[in-house]
Amino acid sequence: MLTLTLLALAAGCSTTGKDGTRHYIVIGFGLVSVNTTNLASAEVYKMQVLGISASDMPGVRLNMGYASSLVVLVPANNSAILEISDGPFSPLKLK
């Protein structure tokens, strides 16, 4: 019961880690929106879903089951050098 209560409280929460990474937790039904109108020099999004998910990045997508996605966005008129390391259940490392 306590676990269920904690999970219910965590649903929809977002936290910011020490490295500035913003984490969103969605349990049940939720919507996470990312505004890409004014991109910073580079933005990296990681998504891990167990269940049903719909996304429009990079194309319209509807998944059922386990889905993992990593998207890197860099404005076309910018210069950036990025090194990204990622695993299914490990934090994203970005240099």
Partner 1 sequence: MKTAYLLVIPALLLGGCETKHAVIAHTGTLLGIDLSENPSTGLYHVKLGYGRSEFVFLPSNRADGTNDLPFGGGAKDVAPVIMELLMQNIFNGGKVYQRLAIGEAAVNQPGASLMFAKDADGTLSIQAAAALGASLQTIPAPDAKATAAKLPLAAAYLQSDNKAAFDSAAKSKGYASFATFLSQTLPLAEVQAMGETLNQFIPSKP
Contact flag: residue 16 with partner 1 (CB under 8 A): no
Of 6 and 76, nearer to partner 1 (C-beta) is: 76
Of 3 and 79, nearer to partner 1 (C-beta) is: 79
**The tokens 């890197």 sit on which residue?**
72
Out of 3, 5, 16, 79, point to the residue binding partner 1 (CB under 8 A).
79
Contact flag: residue 72 with partner 1 (CB under 8 A): yes
What residues contact 49, with CB distance under 8 A and at least 6 apart?
63, 66, 67, 68
19: exposed, middle or buried (Cβ count in 10 Å: 0-12, 13-18, 19+): exposed
**The tokens 């050098």 sit on which residue?**
81
Contact flag: residue 28 with partner 1 (CB under 8 A): no
Closest Cα partner for 84 from 58, 45, 48, 37?
A: 45
Q: Contact region for partner 1 (CB under 8 A) — 3-11, 12-20, 54-62?
A: 54-62
Contact flag: residue 73 with partner 1 (CB under 8 A): yes
Per CB under 8 A, residues contacting partner 1 are 36-39, 42, 52, 54-88
